[in-house]
Amino acid sequence: ELTREQHTLLNFLVDSYNKHRIPQDMAKKLLQEQFNAEENFLLLTEMATSHVQVLVEFTKNIPGFLGLDHEDQIALLKGSAVEAMFLRSAQVFTRKMPSGHSELLEDRIRKSGISDEFITPMFNFYNSIGQLHMLQEEQALLTAITILTPERPYVKDQQAVERLQDPMLDVLRRICALHHPHQPQHFARLLGRLTELRTLNHHHAEMLTSWRTS
Amino acid sequence: PANNLGLEDIIRKALMGNLED
């Protein structure tokens, strides 16, 4: 069971996660219009920028975040932005979309000039997230947990970050037990996706370099 | 344009928005 405080925290996080998303007209553009490779690139960078902006808005609402050292706030966001972006994008491929939409989206990403070497692990991740059928609560919590990773580079006060992350982990563990009573490994699987995300983050840095070059 | 900003710039700007609020 969740305590009353945990319920409040969870509802607040989910509301904030749902409220802060990429503007719909931008997401629509991705599905409706035909672009060449260069326009694909521009649209995807515009979306990435928007992703980061909404991520910051969501993060500001995480209880206690704005009380952290200002440079630590930046270090946490910088270290997690790409991972949070992949987590959010995975939702697009998880949710039921009108027929053909996810194929169109996949096609556009594949034709954006990014090499297959990076695309394949990305879609593998989207598939592995899809298999977990994550709830909104799990999405929001996992995103907050990713952001509040104390071991990010340049974080000075790791303990302060840990104090914010621990209650989130506890709520996530309880949510998993409540909603997946017959899958005791569900919580561990969710955390396992965070390890996968770190690998993607690493690939992403290399991918950007190759993308810029091409 | 935002496209030309680095990740850290985008984060700093977005966080500053809060301070101005």
Residue with tokens 């593998």, as numbered in its chain = A124
- Distance separating alpha carbons of residues A105 and A186, to the nearest angstrom: 29
In sequence order, which residues have a C-beta less than 8 Å from that of residue B9 and are 6 or more positions away?
A: none
Residue spans of beta strands (DSSP E) within A42-117: none
- Higher per-residue pLDDT: A88 or A40: A88
Among the partner residues B5, B8, B18, nearest to A74 by beta-carbon distance: B8
Q: Contact A86/A197 with Cβ under 8 angstroms?
A: yes
CB atoms within 10 A of CB A24: 8
Query: Chain A partners of B7 at a C-beta cutoff of 8 Å?
Result: 52, 78, 81
Q: What percent of chain A has pLDDT over 90?
A: 50
3-state SS, residue A204: helix
pLDDT at residue A94, as a whole number:
67
pLDDT at residue A99, as a whole number:
67
Q: Residues A60-84: what's their mean pLDDT? A: 95
Question: Per residue in A132-156, pLDDT tens?
Answer: 888 999 999 999 999 999 999 999 9
Residue A149: its H or E element:
none
Question: Per residue in A119-135, pLDDT tens?
Answer: 888 888 888 888 888 89
Interface check for B18 against chain A (CB to CB < 8 A): the answer is yes
In sequence order, which residues have a C-beta less than 8 Å from that of residue A158 and are 6 or more positions away?
A: A150, A151
